[in-house]
Amino acid sequence: NAGVTQTPKFQVLKTGQSMTLQCAQDMNHNSMYWYRQDPGMGLRLIYYSASEGTTDKGEVPNGYNVSRLNKREFSLRLESAAPSQTSVYFCASTTDYYGYTFGSGTRLTVV
């Protein structure tokens, strides 16, 4: 099925470790986004890429970096994981006409 694919689905990290969350979409969307979802805080935008070759900070970018590898792929990197980054991470892509499509999420625990 067409859509947004995220890997991995689950991950446990130790404080200070690094990792990259992968996201790919096959809908030919220009814009891609990374959100985090926390209890009581809702969904918050971390970074987004309006088009291939561009990236911009969202509401909560500290501690993260992103790479828009090509039109299909948008990765999120945690350079030195902290317990405050324990969250569920969602990747999304969008077109103006069809709205947002979200991936199934990555559940990250930092111990």
Partner 1 sequence: KQEVTQIPAALSVPEGENLVLNCSFTDSAIYNLQWFRQDPGKGLTSLLLIQSSQREQTSGRLNASLDKSSGRSTLYIAASQPGDSATYLCAKSGSARQLTFGSGTQLTVLP
The reply on whether position 69 binds partner 1 by CB under 8 A is no
Report residue 42 as tokens: 């809702």
Residues 21, 1: Cα–Cα separation, whole Å: 21
Contact assessment for residue 73 and residue 52, using Cβ atoms and an 8 Å cutoff: no
Q: Cβ of residue 42: shortest distance to partner 1, in angstroms?
A: 5
The reply on whether position 53 binds partner 1 by CB under 8 A is no
Residues 103, 3: Cα–Cα separation, whole Å: 7
State whether residue 20 is helix, strand or coil.
strand
Q: Cβ of residue 3: shortest distance to partner 1, in angstroms?
A: 10
Of residues 31 and 85, the one with the C-beta less far from partner 1: 31
Of residues 19 and 50, the one with the C-beta less far from partner 1: 50
Q: Which stretch binds partner 1 (CB under 8 A): 18-26, 61-69, 76-84, 93-101?
A: 93-101
What b-and-e string marks burial along 9-29, b requiring 16 or more CB atoms within 10 Å of the CB?
A: eebebeeeeeeebbbbbeeeb
* # chain residues binding partner 1, by CB under 8 A: 22
Return residues touching partner 1 (CB under 8 A): 31, 33, 35, 42-43, 45, 48, 50, 58, 90, 92, 94, 96-105
